[in-house]
Amino acid sequence: MAAEVLSVSAARGHRFSKPRQLSVRLVAGLGILGDAHAGETVKHRSRVARDPTQPNLRQVHLIAAELFAELAGQGYPIGPGDLGENITTQGIDLLGLPTGARLRLGREAVVEVTGLRNPCIQIDQFRPGLMQAVLGRAPDGSLIRKTGVMSIVIAGGDVAPGDAITIELPAGAPRPLEVV
């Protein structure tokens, strides 16, 4: 299966889920035009409270649709935008990407993966028990966070469902994703 955008979502206000859109416009250095998390500095409420001058490494949130199938099998019917992601992908192992990987979304837009999304208590408030379902353990016992990756916008452009995704890996030794 070729990697592609399954769905795009954005919301002006801070809320857990984001409504689906026909398309979104990515703006270099800012994020998604009109989305509450767009900006050069952090927009996530708890991070703003700690230090509002931090760079925004969470401009665009991506989740693989394959997670939704896994969650449905555990009794959690989840759809695009429900977990607050901006872009729902299919056919790409987002969690297997290294830090700094670049994803071309459609013809123009490019995002750079900055790290993992750390699931928070809001997930259980959305669906009781969901937090445990989006966490796993690797063979070495380390925690696996399945709630997608965060990124910054390198090149702007419009992104819509059905757009192809291509991957450009960074030069040098791969750096594993960490929570941002």
What span, in angstroms and rounded, lies between the C-alpha atoms of 16 and 155?
26
Q: What is the pLDDT, as a whole number, of residue 87? A: 98
Output the DSSP codes for 118-176: PP-THHHHHSTTHHHHTEEE-TTS-EEE-S-EEEEEEE-EEE-TT-BEEEEPPSSSPPP
Q: What is the pLDDT, as a whole number, of residue 159? A: 98
Q: What is the pLDDT, as a whole number, of residue 102? A: 98
* Unique residue bearing structure tokens 């649709």: 65
Q: Which residues contact 128 (CB under 8 A, 6 or more apart)?
A: none
What span, in angstroms and rounded, lies between the C-alpha atoms of 172 and 49?
35
Q: What is the pLDDT, as a whole number, of residue 49? A: 83
* Unique residue bearing structure tokens 């987002």: 94
Query: How far is the first Cα of the chain from the last one, in angstroms, to the nearest whole number?
Result: 29
Contact yes or no for 10/86 (Cβ under 8 A): yes
Q: What is the pLDDT, as a whole number, of residue 1? A: 74
Q: What is the pLDDT, as a whole number, of residue 65? A: 98
Q: What is the pLDDT, as a whole number, of residue 45? A: 78
Question: Computed from CA positions of residues 147, 55, 23, 21, in that sequence, does the dihedral angle turn out positive or negative?
Answer: positive
Give the pLDDT means over successive 10-residue stretches in the chain (180 positions).
95 95 98 96 85 94 97 97 98 98 98 96 94 95 96 98 98 95
Question: Computed from CA positions of residues 113, 74, 4, 40, in that sequence, does the dihedral angle turn out positive or negative?
Answer: negative
CATH number of 4-168: 2.40.33.20
